Amino acid sequence: MDKKLKPCPFCGGTAEAKWMSGPGWLVKCKKCSARTIGGTNLENDEHAARAAWNRRAQPANEPLTLDEIRGMDGEPVWIAEANIWAIVKCEQKGRWAGIPFAVGYWQRINIEWNIKQRRLMCYRIKIGS
Ligand SMILES: [Zn+2]
């Protein structure tokens, strides 16, 4: 099997081809479990399942807008400037309502950065992966 699987279009994770009784051959992301649909013409054909996975379009990895980030409370984002993953924290109530922060670990310290104030570029998928 020479064909390399592209990274997951949703999370950038590594994918693997698997045979499962029932659906047959499918390609699945090891990180988020996104997968091709088994059955039909893919079920007996690992090549076809791999080709189906690789045919899927890669989403553009544009920097997230503040509005998008506000809707991602609890989700990971890639912070390009710092080369780290961080979790979005965006409270619904109180003084910090609607102001997204990036919570994570950077150069051995815990950070909680105000994304807007620091003009951080956040991405869904790691840059360069
Ligand atoms: Zn994935």
Res 27 pLDDT > 80: yes
Q: What is the mean pLDDT of residues 67-92?
A: 93
If you measure from the C-alpha of residue 10 to the centroid of ligand 1, how many angstroms do you get, rounded to a whole number?
Answer: 5
User: In angstroms, what is the span from residue 47 Cα to ligand 1's centroid?
Assistant: 20
**Number of neighbours of residue 61 by Cβ within 10 angstroms:** 15
Tens-digit pLDDT profile for residues 95-117: 999 999 999 999 999 999 999 99
- Give residue 128 CA to ligand 1 midpoint distance, Å: 16
- Residue scoring higher pLDDT (89 or 13): 89
* Cα 42 to averaged position of ligand 1 atoms, centre (Å): 20
pLDDT score, position 1: 52
- pTM, two decimal places: 0.56
pLDDT category at 38 given cuts 50, 70, 90 is low
Q: How confident is the model at residue 43 (pLDDT cuts 50, 70, 90)?
A: low
Residue 58 pLDDT level (bands cut at 50, 70, 90): low
More confident residue, 58 or 54: 54
* DSSP characters over 50-69: HHHHHHSPPPP-PPPPHHHH
Distance 33 CA to ligand 1 centre (A): 6
Pairing of strands 24-29, 109-114: unpaired
83 three-state secondary structure? coil
* Centre of ligand 1 from the C-alpha of residue 110, in Å: 26
Alpha carbon of 84 to ligand 1 centroid (Å):
18
CA of 15 to the centre of ligand 1 (A): 8
pLDDT at 11: 80
By CB atoms closer than 10 A (0-12, 13-18, 19+), residue 115 is buried
Q: Residue 56 — pLDDT band, cuts 50, 70, 90? A: confident
Q: Which residues surround ligand 1, an ion (CB under 5 A)?
A: 8, 10-11, 13, 29, 31-32, 34
pLDDT the model gives residue 114: 97
